[in-house]
Structure 1
Amino acid sequence: MSLESITNSIDESVSDFFEPVADAVADVVFYTVPVGGTELPLIVAWLVIAGLIFTVGFGLVQVRKFKLAFDTVRGKYDEEGSVGEVSHFQALTAAVSGTVGLGNIAGVAVAVSIGGPGATFWMILCGLLGMATKFVEVTLGVKYRVEHEDGTVSGGPMHYLPRGLAERFGSGGAKLGKVLAVLASIMILFFGLFGGNLLQANQSYAQIASTVGGEDGFMASSAGAILFGLVVAALVGLVLLGGIRSIASVTSRLVPAMAGMYIVACLVVILANVTAVPDAIQTVFDGAFQADGVTGGVIGALIVGFQRAAFSNEAGLGSAPIAHSAVRTKHPASEGLVALLEPFIDTVVICTMTALTIIIADPASWADARAGESIGGVTITSDAFATVLPWFPHVLTVAVLLFAFSTILTWGYYGLKAWSYLFGKSRTSELTFKALWSLFVVAGSLLSLDSLISLADSALFLLSVFNIIGLYLLAPVVKRELDSFMDFVRSRKARAAVGGGDPEDEREAVKVV
């Protein structure tokens, strides 16, 4: 029996076993109600409503504190002796690497082709609302993080749900928090293994196999898949062994590079069609409010835009606080402000650039969707770039590899923290997880596991149910932390204004000398 037949047999067996489970869970998690001639997934509404409530409750924090967030990323308000493992910038890039990924390339194409150009408007709006949700959950992640004897820290919903609810509501809150924390850890672990690992490895291998050597080339064979998986697994394993410091060191270089490369490519296509930009923007607004030609009309465009944005930036799911909790800071809200930049980068900037590129360069893609034709996601994006950059499929391959690698690393860290919460933080336990994680990378290059990915997506969005309940209950804590950080910022500015300098800056100057 050939290697191909063995892997195909395994793939079919796993899919047959999990398919009914995946379908049943997805029917519950993504339960829809009819709205305006289309179907609205209630889980998407749950995420969007949370963003709206936190936006109003914190007084448009994503707008009023946007500049302060950038100043904090640059280290303007760093303090000597802060607990943590990485800088604000490194924590941001580590978290962004888990959200910016293949969904920004293929997912946006799906949104535009199904919901029309108007979906872009609603996608941007959802991203802006998600900034407030991300601020709340990351502030809590840093506030209730656990400091270990070896100097490392752990954060995320598995920590702020039990600790925060116990602090606010006593023993009853502690019990509720413990249940929510265990469920959240299981969901993070499950999605991490299959969605953050297998799917990334599988899609990146598929892209490289299609562009290197063709269908009959070595890379398209099972041997090529195994070689690809082993190389990526070895690289992932080496980085994971170094912990969050190693991950942050890689992502702080990789994420800006890959995002910059992708944005530049988008700009090249857009500038090459610069005369079409005004009409494209007008098309987006017209489609957002007069989308008669797409599935579901205006409501359909709204739902698709919200859904793709929610999938893309993960605001409210509780995953990003795990990475952000490793930051060096004495003020939890400082990292909460840094984190609100994450949906802005992921959805408002990168997803919008992708959408404009598709709308301007390849209008036939979403026009065909109106006619009911079946269109693939990544092929639309690739074809749009190819109208100006015929060699872009090769560049896209590099981008896909970088996106996938950084996502595997970040979700490996997320999964490790969930694993440690459930099974203990011993060296043996952590090494076991890292070994399993690396093995899954190899398997990902061989198998498709469509039904497992569907189940993993369901697990990911179940996180939002457990997590956002806690966010609502702990919102007053976030308000106090924001007030505390703003007092610190005003105090530092006041000292600088009177010419007294900053004691922290003076100590840093002495250390440098």
Structure 2
Amino acid sequence: MSTTSAYIMAAAAEESVLQQTATTIDGWFAGIADGFAAIIFATVPLGGFDAPIVVLWSILAAIGFSIYFGFVQLRTPHVSLEVVRGKWTSEKDPGEVSHFQALTSAVSATVGLGNIAGVAAAVSMGGPGATFWMIVAGLFGMCTKFVECTLGVKYRYIDENGVVHGGPFQYLKVAYHKLGRIPVAIITGLFAIAIMLFGVVGGGMFQANQAFGQLRAATGGDEGVLGSDLAALIFGIIFAILVGVVVIGGIKSIGSVTAKLVPAMAIIYVGACLIVIAVNFANIGDAFSAIITGAFSPEGVAGGMLGVIIIGVQRAAFSNEAGIGSAPIAHSAVKTRRPISEGFVAALEPFIDTVVICTMTALVIIFAWTPEYQEALDAGSAENPVALTSAAFDSFLPGFNIILTVAVLLFAYSTLITWSYYGIQAWRHLFGTTKVGDAIFRGIALLLVVIGCLVSTNNIFSFADSALFMCIFINVIGLVILAPKVKEEMKQYLSDRKAGRLLEDPEPLPHELAERR
């Protein structure tokens, strides 16, 4: 036997072993994901459709917040933009990052592959009508994020090293304190576990999985140079190393990196969307007609209209993360004396993420909706949804899949580094802050980035959705309890803004005086 033949046979044997290992890992992960989903997505019969309770809860809560706060997310976009520009910020304000950096850090975790692959998955499962309900969920979700990020700053504390500790791990203690110390510890512990799981799966494994999926599709698919499991393993290792280099620096490092990455990837992706939309300007009316018609008269969707609403809300939540409690972690590090100011900033996120970018993606897909494209949807939507969006772009901009691959890698990378920060905050809540503990978490998170390139997208979606809505269920109850305090702060802030007193130290609110006494 020649040396070349022996080498080929050895390589084939190694690939076979790796393929079997990947299949085993995927099967093991599928069992865990299915069991987790069965618990979290318990259903109630509603109009002949089994509707998940946690999804209904997230919808009703977002609508309730919008009504309670007088649709503040629609009334005050000018206030949000003023704060982002730093108009009402003083250098003496406590915190670690600017309003703009806090926004880009949080946006980097929400504007990601959920906008590309998530939209493709939503449209393939629920038709164009899912887009309408994603938009509606985004508009209502703006108010949910307004509430949670205000509370994230309000109940933060800054330790002796100047490091900010805030977000749901602080305000949920206040919200649930009437239940007693032990129930509070259990509830916040469960929340920390859920957000940590979503961080390493939805924020880590999914991003790596779809980044490699797009790179593989752009280089010839399964028959190309990256068509093997070995290539997936090598990509995962390289990607994990690049993520690890940044996350060791903490939120200041993340804020610095994402402040540069987010605008760059937004320009690339949104610019391409605008080109496709401009080319198809004459078809915009038909596209929106399909979206609206499909929203209220969907065809081939289990559960009819309610089914497509559920799909739209789930994919919107995965994309913009309103109500999860993740964004308040990044926003709590902002430099401000006025917690409500960061609520106004945070309200922009679901609008940017879902109302603008997700809608653009959906329009590109709908414009490309031909019988041939439908075949692609039917054949591969579950396993590589990002490639479906790529195919839609490529039908109008031949060769764009290469540019989109770069944008996808940027989306995935920025999301990964931010969710690594979120995840480690949850880890620290559970196990304390130690160098050894932090190293263990980072090691686990980076290992799962590698594994994410080897398992199926459908299983990752299932597990990530379960962790995500577990977070929402626990977090939103806390938001409801503390909403009156946010409303008091909102009224005072808008009053002080009108009187030109925003750069002064705020007057204590009635409940704050009571707490001090």
Q: 1:325 aligns with which of 305, 328, 332?
A: 332
Q: 2:52 aligns with which of 41, 46, 53?
A: 41
CA drift of 1:325 comes to 0.9
Alignment coverage as a number of residue pairs: 491
Percent of paired sites with the same residue: 50
Equivalent residue, structure 2, for 1:419:
427
Question: Does the 8 A contact of 2:210 with 2:386 survive in 1?
Answer: no
Q: Does the C-alpha gap of structure 1 residues 405 and 34 become closer, same or farther in structure 2, counting only changes over 3 Å?
A: same
Aligned-partner SS, 2:51: strand
Q: Is 1:86 matched up with 2:97?
A: yes
- Distance of 2:39 and 2:439 partners within structure 1: 35
Question: Does the 8 A contact of 1:11 with 1:449 survive in 2?
Answer: no
Q: 1:455-491: CA deviations, max 9, x gaps?
A: 3431221111111111111111211222332243233
Question: Does the 8 A contact of 1:32 with 1:41 survive in 2?
Answer: yes
Q: Is 1:181 matched up with 2:188?
A: yes
Question: Does the 8 A contact of 2:40 with 2:466 survive in 1?
Answer: yes
Q: Does the C-alpha gap of structure 1 residues 503 and 191 become closer, same or farther in structure 2, counting only changes over 3 Å?
A: closer
Q: Does the C-alpha gap of structure 1 residues 229 and 301 become closer, same or farther in structure 2, counting only changes over 3 Å?
A: closer
1:64-103 aligned at under 5 Å gives the runs 64-103=75-114
Q: Is 1:135 matched up with 2:146?
A: yes
Q: Is 1:232 matched up with 2:239?
A: yes
- What letter corresponds to residue 63 of structure 1 in structure 2? L
Q: Does the C-alpha gap of structure 1 residues 220 and 291 become closer, same or farther in structure 2, counting only changes over 3 Å?
A: closer
- Distance of 1:321 and 1:4 partners within structure 2: 44
CA drift of 1:323 comes to 1.0
- What letter corresponds to residue 468 of structure 1 in structure 2? V
Question: Does the 8 A contact of 1:116 with 1:366 survive in 2?
Answer: no
1:285-364 aligned at under 5 Å gives the runs 285-292=292-299, 295-364=302-371
1:94-493 aligned at under 5 Å gives the runs 94-166=105-177, 169=178, 172-212=179-219, 215=222, 217-292=224-299, 295-364=302-371, 373-374=378-379, 376=381, 377-448=385-456, 451=459, 454-492=462-500
Greater displacement, 6-15 / 337-346 = 6-15
- Distance of 2:391 and 2:210 partners within structure 1: 18
Q: Does the C-alpha gap of structure 1 residues 4 and 292 become closer, same or farther in structure 2, counting only changes over 3 Å?
A: closer
- Distance of 2:205 and 2:119 partners within structure 1: 21
- Distance of 1:134 and 1:257 partners within structure 2: 24
- What letter corresponds to residue 474 of structure 2 in structure 1? F
Q: Does the C-alpha gap of structure 1 residues 180 and 238 become closer, same or farther in structure 2, counting only changes over 3 Å?
A: same
Q: 1:55-97: CA deviations, max 9, x gaps?
A: 0011101011221111111111112311111111111111111
Q: Does the C-alpha gap of structure 1 residues 12 and 380 become closer, same or farther in structure 2, counting only changes over 3 Å?
A: closer
Question: Does the 8 A contact of 2:124 with 2:378 survive in 1?
Answer: no
CA drift of 1:98 comes to 1.1
Q: 1:220-255: CA deviations, max 9, x gaps?
A: 445533442333222211211211011011111111
- Distance of 1:452 and 1:261 partners within structure 2: 27
Q: Does the C-alpha gap of structure 1 residues 306 and 199 become closer, same or farther in structure 2, counting only changes over 3 Å?
A: closer
- What letter corresponds to residue 342 of structure 1 in structure 2? E
CA drift of 1:306 comes to 2.1
- Distance of 2:380 and 2:303 partners within structure 1: 18
Question: Does the 8 A contact of 1:139 with 1:333 survive in 2?
Answer: yes
Equivalent residue, structure 2, for 1:23:
34
Question: Does the 8 A contact of 1:44 with 1:310 survive in 2?
Answer: no
- Distance of 1:55 and 1:341 partners within structure 2: 14
- What letter corresponds to residue 48 of structure 1 in structure 2? I
Equivalent residue, structure 2, for 1:509:
none
- Distance of 2:451 and 2:124 partners within structure 1: 32
Greater displacement, 413-422 / 75-84 = 75-84
Q: Does the C-alpha gap of structure 1 residues 239 and 449 become closer, same or farther in structure 2, counting only changes over 3 Å?
A: same
Greater displacement, 130-139 / 355-364 = 355-364
Greater displacement, 447-456 / 77-86 = 447-456
Question: Does the 8 A contact of 2:113 with 2:412 survive in 1?
Answer: yes
Q: Does the C-alpha gap of structure 1 residues 375 and 283 become closer, same or farther in structure 2, counting only changes over 3 Å?
A: same
Q: 1:143-191: CA deviations, max 9, x gaps?
A: 111312211112222221114443xx4xx35443322211111111122
CA drift of 1:368 comes to 6.4
CA drift of 1:452 comes to 6.0
- What letter corresponds to residue 125 of structure 2 in structure 1? I
Q: Structure 1: where are the runs of 5+ without partners?
A: 495-501, 505-513
Question: Does the 8 A contact of 2:318 with 2:465 survive in 1?
Answer: no
- What letter corresponds to residue 184 of structure 2 in structure 1? G
RMSD, matched Cα: 2.6
- What letter corresponds to residue 157 of structure 1 in structure 2? P
Q: Does the C-alpha gap of structure 1 residues 295 and 182 become closer, same or farther in structure 2, counting only changes over 3 Å?
A: closer
Aligned-partner SS, 1:387: helix
- Distance of 2:447 and 2:306 partners within structure 1: 43
- What letter corresponds to residue 288 of structure 1 in structure 2? A
Q: Structure 2: where are the runs of 5+ without partners?
A: 1-9, 506-517
Q: Does the C-alpha gap of structure 1 residues 290 and 449 become closer, same or farther in structure 2, counting only changes over 3 Å?
A: closer
Q: Does the C-alpha gap of structure 1 residues 355 and 215 become closer, same or farther in structure 2, counting only changes over 3 Å?
A: closer
Question: Does the 8 A contact of 2:217 with 2:387 survive in 1?
Answer: no
CA drift of 1:408 comes to 0.8
Q: Does the C-alpha gap of structure 1 residues 409 and 448 become closer, same or farther in structure 2, counting only changes over 3 Å?
A: same
- Distance of 1:374 and 1:66 partners within structure 2: 42
Question: Does the 8 A contact of 1:201 with 1:445 survive in 2?
Answer: yes
CA drift of 1:386 comes to 1.6
- Distance of 1:290 and 1:457 partners within structure 2: 26
- Distance of 2:372 and 2:120 partners within structure 1: 9
Aligned-partner SS, 1:40: strand
